[in-house]
Amino acid sequence: MSWSLPIGRFGPTILRVHLTFFLLLAWIGLSAWQRGGLSAARDSLLFIVLVFTCVVLHEFGHILVARRFGIETPDVTLLPIGGVAAMGRMADKPEQELAIAIAGPMVNVVIAALLFFVLGTIRPDDVVRIDDPAVSLFARLAAANIFLVVFNMIPAFPMDGGRVLRALLAMKFGRAKATRLAAGLGQILALVFGFLGLFGNPLLIFIAIFVYIAAASEAQMTAFAEATRGLAVQDAMARRFGALPLDATIGAALEAVLPTGQHDIPVVDGFGKPVGILVREDLRAAVDKLDGAEPVTSIMRVPVETVSSTAPLEAALDQVLDPAGTALPVTDRDGRLVGLLTCENLVELMITGSNRPDLRRDLR
Ligand SMILES: [Zn+2]
């Protein structure tokens, strides 16, 4: 993500801050400054930075447990709505997913407990007045951590509570069915939030939309992950497709491409290695503006991302499902083009997979 600024590294994990997060800081600082001058601005910013430090610690709760299970944790990104820890893959067993999901909120429970310990006693009404500067910073921070626990334990994706629920259900029903159940419950909850939001806090409507979309996409990603588990890229890639040589002209490309339905056409060099991708829309747009004798290299998309034919299919999912991306050229050990992986290949795999005995071993 180019919109994120790396600000630190903890072991193998890079901590990034999304640029919109700085907008949030500026907005909070400015509005506090308008209300109460410089000291109010300083107090508000300090509070937000401390809260987001707790959010980062929460994410590292997930990360440290995930690492114990051998899951790669390349980065954490801090967004205005919270933190997102990237995971290399899903946990193998429900017990592991449960441990990873619960570790984050547990960090906030510990922080809140420590703060209560430091504060001695805390008045319950202080906890409610989270945005009142008259209440001590630590008391407000303790309250924020309690809020983080409660919010994250809402049993709906993408909150940790949704993953906890899915893990618990998966112990009984298997992951695919557990995800459907958890996503369904999440969507019902989203509708309840949305309904409450209509009569109360409009923020609930925002959360409802967020949760509804996340539940649907989690269900879809899990379905893909289930269908692709244990398969290699070569099991799903298209083997019959058109490709263009490096010296092809736009005119030649038109002739070759128009009669086929192929959307993305790899361009290969003399050794058969992919050097670019010609996208159908780009070709159509170029026809009006450019001479047919121009080379396709002038309109192909570069650089081209490739994937090895023996790589696990699960690892290529993100690239293939990226709506802004193109088909993914698949290469052999020498880097030569041997296949093409598209979204349609994956959908086909999911539909036909259950009918193919050679794939059935991997499908539940
Ligand atoms: Zn979490």
- What CA–CA distance (Å, rounded) separates 48 from 30? 13
Dist. CA 108 → ligand 1 center (Å): 10
- Percent with pLDDT over 70 in the chain: 91
pLDDT(364) > 50: no
Domain presence at residue 159:
no
Over residues 215-231, the mean pLDDT reads 76
Dist. CA 101 → ligand 1 center (Å): 6
Residues 73 and 12 sit within 8 Å (Cβ to Cβ): yes
24 and 52 housed in the same domain: yes
311 and 279 housed in the same domain: yes
126 and 219 housed in the same domain: no
Domain presence at residue 164:
no
- What CA–CA distance (Å, rounded) separates 211 from 285? 38
- Domain end call among 202, 228, 254: 228
Helix (H, G, I), strand (E, B) or coil at 146: helix
Dist. CA 105 → ligand 1 center (Å): 6
Domain presence at residue 65:
yes
Higher-confidence position of 138 and 130:
138
Higher-confidence position of 326 and 353:
326
Annotate 280-305 with DSSP letters as a single string. Answer: HHHHHHHHHHS-TTSBGGGTSB-SPP
Numbers of helices and strands, H then E, in the chain:
13, 10
177 and 109 housed in the same domain: no
* DSSP state at residue 158: T
Beta bridge partners of 4: 18
Dist. CA 230 → ligand 1 center (Å): 27
Dist. CA 183 → ligand 1 center (Å): 17
Residues 241 and 340 sit within 8 Å (Cβ to Cβ): yes
Dist. CA 267 → ligand 1 center (Å): 43
Dist. CA 152 → ligand 1 center (Å): 6
pLDDT at 99: 96
Residues 337 and 362 sit within 8 Å (Cβ to Cβ): no
Q: Characterize the bridge pairing of strands 307-308 and 328-331.
A: parallel
Residue 151 CA, chain-centre distance (Å), reads: 19
Domain presence at residue 224:
yes
Dist. CA 85 → ligand 1 center (Å): 8
**E strand or H helix at 94, and its extent?**
helix 94-119
- Which residues make Cβ contacts (< 8 Å) with residue 148, sequence separation at least 6? 54, 55, 58, 105, 108
266: domain CATH number? 3.10.580.10
The CB density around residue 167, as the number of other CB atoms within 10 Å, is: 23
237 and 224 housed in the same domain: no
* φ, ψ at 82 (rounded to 5°): 140, -165
Residue 57 structure tokens: 């610690």
269 and 190 housed in the same domain: no
160-214 residue pLDDT tens: 999 999 999 999 988 878 888 888 888 888 888 888 888 877 777 877 887 888 7
Dist. CA 37 → ligand 1 center (Å): 35
Least confident of 130-139, 256-265, 324-333: 130-139
Dist. CA 320 → ligand 1 center (Å): 26
- What CA–CA distance (Å, rounded) separates 130 from 136? 10
Dist. CA 325 → ligand 1 center (Å): 28
Dist. CA 216 → ligand 1 center (Å): 19
- What CA–CA distance (Å, rounded) separates 178 from 51? 33
Question: Nearest 10 degrees: CA dihedral of 164, 111, 137, 53?
Answer: -70
102 and 182 housed in the same domain: no
pLDDT at 1: 44
pLDDT(306) > 80: yes
Residue matched to tokens 């600000």: 7
- Percent with pLDDT over 90 in the chain: 26
Domain presence at residue 240:
yes
How many domains does the structure of the chain reveal?
A: 3
Dist. CA 56 → ligand 1 center (Å): 9
- What CA–CA distance (Å, rounded) separates 319 from 327? 9
- Domain end call among 228, 260, 277: 228
pLDDT at 358: 55
Residues 350 and 227 sit within 8 Å (Cβ to Cβ): yes
In terms of pTM, does the model score above 0.75?
Answer: no
71-91 residue pLDDT tens: 888 889 888 777 888 887 778
189 and 127 housed in the same domain: no
- Length of the chain measured in residues: 364
Walk across the sheet containing 4-10 and list its strands: 4-10, 13-18, 75-79, 82-85
41 and 145 housed in the same domain: yes
The CB density around residue 35, as the number of other CB atoms within 10 Å, is: 11
Dist. CA 263 → ligand 1 center (Å): 39
213 and 240 housed in the same domain: no
Dist. CA 82 → ligand 1 center (Å): 9
Q: Mean of the per-residue pLDDT values for the chain?
A: 84
Dist. CA 145 → ligand 1 center (Å): 12
Dist. CA 31 → ligand 1 center (Å): 29
Dist. CA 265 → ligand 1 center (Å): 41
Dist. CA 163 → ligand 1 center (Å): 9
Domain presence at residue 158:
no
Residues 232 and 310 sit within 8 Å (Cβ to Cβ): yes
Domain presence at residue 85:
yes
Domain presence at residue 216:
yes
Dist. CA 58 → ligand 1 center (Å): 6
Q: Which structural domain, as residue segments, surrounds residue 187?
A: 171-228
- Domain end call among 124, 153, 182: 153
Dist. CA 218 → ligand 1 center (Å): 15
140 and 205 housed in the same domain: no
217 and 302 housed in the same domain: no
